[in-house]
Chains A and B, each alone.
Chain A
Amino acid sequence: MRAFRSLSRAMFLGFIRDRAALIFTILIPVLFLVLLGSIYKSSATPKVTVLEVGKVSMLDQAQAASPRSLGQVMTVTRTSNLAVALADVRKGTDGAAVQQQGTRLIAHYSVADPTKAAIANAVFSSIVQQANLAATGRPPTYQLTAAQVEDKSLKPIQYLAPGLLGWAIASGAAFGASITLVGWRKDKLLRRLRLAPVSTSSVVTARIGMSVAIAIVQMFVFLAIAITPYFGLKLTAYWWMAIPVVIIGTLAFMSIGLLVGAVSKTQQAATSIANLIILPMAFLGGAFIPLDFAPSWIQKVSYVMPLRYLVVGVQNVMARGLGPASALPAIAILLGFTAVLTGIAVRVFRWDEI
């Protein structure tokens, strides 16, 4: 027990005094979160701005009837000058200009932004339809009830935070394990430890404990930043279930690191190989590109990426509001992956160079 404590302490001091490791495992992922979080935030809601020229009673009635749903797609500005309004629409500053002549609604749009033009046209045509329906004085026969499937708060940060967190944990664990293993072998510390009456399991568990502790710290630093009002991450009820997913994910990526460390002769080689594994996986496993928006081939490939299970497992319980059981398949798959890779790593492991 004394040996375990002392080894853990030595590793902990070694980590916090290693500026490069701190920057790499904590600072850079946080920087990514802040940068990407800010970028996605600003492009989050593409609303159409509409110029109301003169009085448009049909639009006013529609706004009064359902201010929220209309407000989500457009912002309305009143103006009296048609010429100026048309010029703005032509320049693309505003999405559309609308005026009413008796029972006729006239919408001016430009194809400068076809998406916005289409949204504006659809909204106006539905306003006219509703007005027509109201004019008949009869209740509508058919009705549409729209129900959103996602949590209403599923903003980009809800994908981004679990994705980047998964990537940060994966690289922290894989790089940490591989660099430690190669470094210790090169410095003959591995051999020195073998000559001390300390069990291999003490050494290994001390190193695992260290990596898991780093991962938990990464997680809470991430969450602390992401839940600030600026980024606005909303933690759902069972977010704490992300902790076991993170722990098991750490083990899975340590096993990758162990294998990389076993086959690498130098720390530079270990870093390169680990990069070669982790970086593509970040793109293909849903860490950088949310899988919901990814091309279908990426979605298919992601199923063989262990990072996918870490990211999706965390996302389900932390950001999608699913129950604790939703993380269990991810945990099981990550555990299986860990067992297989550790088995291979143990077979190719060497105490010494040569």
Chain B
Amino acid sequence: MVSGVSATISVRDLSKSYGDLRAVDGVTFEVERGEFFGILGPNGAGKTTTLEIIEGLRRPDGGEVSVLGMTPWPRNPALLPRMGVQLQASSFFEHLTAREQLRTFAALYGIPAERADAMLEVVGLTDMAATRTEKLSGGQAQRLSIACALVHGPDVLFLDEPTGALDPQARRNLWDLLRAISAEGHTVVLTTHHMDEAETLCDRVAIMDHGQILKIGSPAALVRELDQPVRISVEAGQLSLDEARALVAAAGRTGDSVSGDGAVGDGAMVADDGVSLTIVTSEPATVLAALADRQALAGLQVRGGTLEDVFLHLTGREYRA
């Protein structure tokens, strides 16, 4: 282990190949106790393989993994009860109700049925206890699946793309549940390709691509580091284009590196589409102060960089099948 005893998960120089494909290629990171850690990456980046190696489902070709001070491979019966795993697909026994499902998984860990029933309440499925799992909605099935992963009170919880196919309401509902779980002190490791999800839930994220970790840190720090120009827009008609340009010039450094979503018209830094006047700048504080001076803040919207910008910046924009 590289550092302190508090590291719940320690991964060092992990590698795994399938034929010529280096699915995981020298991955190193640590997850602290109680941390909410996210592994981000495009499809095929190697995040699921990394997670599966940590869970003990796959044997690494090289490198070391330690979970709660134990080695997950080969299958480690001492470690299994301390891990909770929620898999991408909802893995349930066929034709069982939500309650039966949870009780069955509880029994696998020697947990009494009452604890299982209590868990049903934690994930808000008491009303659906007698419903067969095939009849549950996507969000309910996902919550049940998380309940099945948590029923034995594990120290570490692994979630593989938990909000994959959920609608916005169900996603937010699930986020609340995950926050509550994290607040109880569970260490949570999550893979996702939803940046908003990682940004809102994770203490730290690792951005992966082509089997390697490109960047690791807290979402806010990563965004700040990207130093993305800020888009400030106000209602049109409060300020002329020339006034706006003068204002931007006075602010000093401008958004010359803006591209993609950050661009305004033909690379211009100021634009007016008749609805909004938009200014792209790297000095938002100065520009905002100047706009405030002119009483031109009606309809103000300020959009800074997001984790998604960091992600696209690191992994590129080309479409991958």
Interface residues of A (CB under 8 A from B): 2-3, 5-7, 9-11, 13-14, 17-18, 183, 187-189, 191-198, 351-352, 354
Contacts and interface: CB of A to CB of B under 8 A. Distances in A.
A193 B88 CA distance: 15
B162 to A, nearest CB: 14
Given A3-B110, A196-B109, A191 B91 contact: yes
A13 B85 contact: no
B56 interface: yes
Interface stretch (B76-84, B164-172, B217-225): B76-84
B87 interface: yes
A3 B107 CA distance: 5
A351 B56 CA distance: 13
B95 A197 contact: no
Closest 4 CB pairs of A and B: A6-B107, A17-B95, A196-B108, A197-B80
B203 to A, nearest CB: 24
A296 B109 CA distance: 57
Q: Most B CB atoms within 10 A — which of A198, A351, A352?
A: A198
A10 B80 contact: no
B108 A3 contact: yes
Q: Most B CB atoms within 10 A — which of A183, A195, A351?
A: A195
Contacts of A195: 55-57, 80, 83, 85
A3 B75 CA distance: 18
Interface majority SS on B: helix, strand, loop or mixed? loop
Interface majority SS on A: helix, strand, loop or mixed? helix
B249 interface: no
B209 interface: no
A285 to B, nearest CB: 31
A193 B110 CA distance: 14
Interface in B90-116: 90-96, 100, 103-105, 107-110
B89 interface: yes
Nearest to A199: B77
Contacts of B104: 6-7, 9-10
Given A6-B103, A195-B80, A14 B93 contact: yes
Nearest to A16: B95
Contacts of A5: 107
A193 B91 CA distance: 10
B94 A197 contact: no
7 contacts: A2-B110, A3-B110, A6-B107, A13-B95, A188-B89, A192-B91, A197-B108
Contacts of A6: 103-104, 107-108
A354 B94 CA distance: 23
B109 A13 contact: no
Nearest to A203: B108
A352 B103 CA distance: 25
Nearest to B94: A14
Contacts of A196: 80, 105, 108-109
B286 to A, nearest CB: 54
Contacts of A13: 95-96, 100
Contacts of B81: 197
Nearest to B158: A195
A354 to B, nearest CB: 8
Contact of B89 (A9, A14, A187, A351): A187
Nearest to B112: A2
A1 to B, nearest CB: 10
Contacts of B80: 195-197
Nearest to A186: B89
B92 A187 contact: yes
Interface in B41-83: 55-57, 75, 77, 80-81, 83
Contacts of B107: 2-3, 5-7
Contact of B93 (A10, A194, A198, A352): A10
A14 B96 contact: yes
